[in-house]
Chain A
Amino acid sequence: MARAVTTQHKTIATAAAWVVALLIFFPILYTIITSFKSEQEAIQGFNLIPSGTFESYSEVQQQSGYFKFFFNSVLLSVGSTILALIVAIPAAWSMAFSPTKRTKDILMWMLSTKMMPAVAVLFPIYLIFRDSGLLDSRIGLTVMLMLINLPIVVWMLYTYFREIPGEILEAARMDGASLWNEIIYVLTPMAVPGIASTMLLNIILAWNEAFWTIRLTTTNAAPLTAFISSFSSPQGLFWAKLSAASTLAIAPILIMGWFSQKQLVRGLTFGAVK
């Protein structure tokens, strides 16, 4: 009897999980479906079966070449992630293994920068970029993306590092490892799953970042967010083209997320249960 209840519970839980997953995924699915419709079909109300035209994709590619934007997105998201890790690993190490009484406050203070609306600092940042000649430059935007995601990276790494017993690092020190050797040869290999999932999450965050990437770029450094934004039209029908542009923009990150979902889920739930 108990077994039957468990099976029943499992079935209900699985069904509920599917319903929730479908609900969450539905907007993306409908975007993909709409991208295969003509503009007229796209506005004619709810319809799950498209005519299967590639018209929007060809128009989107013709109007503004996808690959230039794609290349920038890859460069910015990967570049900013690597840069963030270079800064965040030592910072998280210090907070996890040599905490002071102010460590918690520093962590909270770092996170508090994420609570501020980005537009509040638009003008100062814009002026700094203008005066440093960084407007529309990949370097400037890479640094910017690194900075805005840094609090999350430090927090995640800090959580992972705290799971690693300090004794192992002490042992390495006893064996004569220098600080850098300790971080590079002992800590980093042990924290690889954590670092990998932080990396993946940060790439996704940087890929999807649409405030600064649109406002600090014009042509040279513009990534896929700017590409999508260019297909919305104040006068005229654009849903199918906008959907095609969105599908093209999210496809790479969606595929990457699909393949690395195990690492992502593991990373996100790491340390949640002790």
Chain B
Amino acid sequence: MKLRTLTLGLLSASALAFAAHAESITIATVNNGDMVRMQKLTDDFTKANPDIQLNWVTLEENVLRERVTTDIATKGGQYDVMTIGTYEVPIWAKQSWLLPLDKLGDDYDVKDIIPAIAGGLSVDGKLYAAPFYGESSFVMYRKDLMEKAGLKMPDAPTWDFIKQAADKMTDRANGVNGVCLRGKAGWGENMAFLTAMSNSFGARWFDENWKPQFDQPEWKNTLQFYVDLMKADGPEGASSNGFNENLALFQQGKCGMWIDATVAASFVSDPKASQVADKVGYALAPDNGLGKRGNWLWAWSLAVPAGTQKADAAEKFVSWATSKHYAELVASKEGWANVPPGTRSSLYANAEYQKAAPFAKMTLDSINAADPTHPTVKPVPYVGVQFVAIPEFQGLGTTVGQLFSAALAGQSSVDDALKQAQDAATAAMTEGGYIK
């Protein structure tokens, strides 16, 4: 009896000691397919690191952004790992809100990260977030409709070709729209698309002295082309369509072309979800021959906030989730097609991945075609392809997005929208102290 009591006591004591030793880290993330998969596979991490427990907080993208911004700005210390994008990383790193990731491990192979992606996540040569998955944007099109229209999509089309193809493919009687593009207002919605598109038209948000440029002819050309194209060949109610709405339209065969995130390729080519899975072709985002294409660059990345008390455990987790080993783990459990794309060069050199993901080469080419440090034809004082990496951009981008969405909906003219955008940008930049 005494022996049993003693054994039980010892066991309880050791359990308590273990519990006291185990460190728990809280990870804030968004509800994307790749993130959900990561949560399911964390046993692999906790087995190798039994002293680290993982707590997940999954939030809607905008709520997540607001929550982590509040937490990091007040040094609340609620999260040890944060899922953030290429927009936040340079701003937060400059504020010293993020810890540089310099302990990712010997076998992590930082140089394997695609240079364009690493560039967007680094400040002064130091990596402040590790990419979990990366994306650019490209053209997804219906090969059958293109053939019916008597056209052949080049690998690198121009905007004029897109217009010509959209006009020919549009068959509203049969519910087919030549082209589906984002129209829903928001800095990460229509403005992601329009800012990237404007780069290929030679436009820019600000000149070298931070003077807003919406009064310049390049922006007028961009917005006029977009509104005319959508009026002639876009779906009804396009001003409220974002990624998910256009995805649904394309999957149902209602779009001839869709220019959006490369990550959409895995959705539109999935026969379980898409009615047109075997008819989709891919091409680089269009250009106007000015040296820049209308594609963006984004990476959902894992970063460690400066306020955390558990930096080592947090960095260990970041290293695991963004490693080559993790890619192999996903491949072994769920197949190569489900490996998070767009972060490591080695993935694109992998023959099995190329076989499983026919859009792999075009995705890599698109990512490589974007340069966040030199995003525009004319010089700019900012970083970011489809955004301007300054704190004021979230609010300003959404305001301008609403004006452009109204122009698409026909509630205002292109000229009025641009004039109001210029006024809003001038006011925001004056208030922010960028211009006088």
- A residues sitting closer than 8 Å to B (CB atoms) are 39-40, 43-44, 63-64, 122-123, 126-127, 130, 135-136, 214-215, 218-219, 222, 226, 229-238
Contact = CB atoms under 8 A, between A and B. Distances in A.
A137 to B, nearest CB: 11
Nearest to B36: A63
B58 A230 contact: yes
8 smallest CB-CB distances across A and B, nearest first, come from A230-B58, A232-B60, A43-B248, A234-B61, A219-B55, A233-B31, A218-B57, A130-B76
B62 to A, nearest CB: 9
Interface size class of B (residues with CB under 8 A): 35 or more
A214 B26 contact: no
A21 B129 CA distance: 51
Interface string B237-250: 00000011001100
Contacts of A230: 31, 57-60
A122 B71 CA distance: 11
A227 to B, nearest CB: 9
Interface string B58-100: 1111010011001000111111000000000000000000000
Contact of A235 (B63, B67, B251, B261): B261
Given A39-B273, A44-B252, A130-B76, A233 B30 contact: yes
B30 A219 contact: no
16 contacts: A44-B252, A63-B58, A64-B56, A130-B77, A135-B76, A135-B78, A218-B57, A231-B31, A233-B32, A233-B33, A235-B33, A235-B243, A235-B263, A237-B244, A237-B248, A238-B244
- For A122, A218, A222, A237, the residue with the greatest tally of chain B CB atoms inside 10 Å of its CB is A218
Nearest to B26: A218
Contacts of B78: 135-136, 218
A254 to B, nearest CB: 23
Given A44-B252, A218-B78, A229 B32 contact: no
Given A126-B74, A218-B78, A237 B273 contact: yes
B67 A215 contact: yes
B45 interface: no
Interface in B239-286: 243-244, 247-248, 251-252, 261, 263-264, 267, 272-273
Given A122-B70, A130-B76, A215-B70, A236 B60 contact: no
Contacts of B79: 218
Contacts of B61: 232, 234
A232 B31 contact: yes
Contacts of A234: 30, 32, 60-61, 188, 243-244
A191 to B, nearest CB: 40
Contacts of B32: 233-236
Contacts of B272: 40
A210 to B, nearest CB: 10
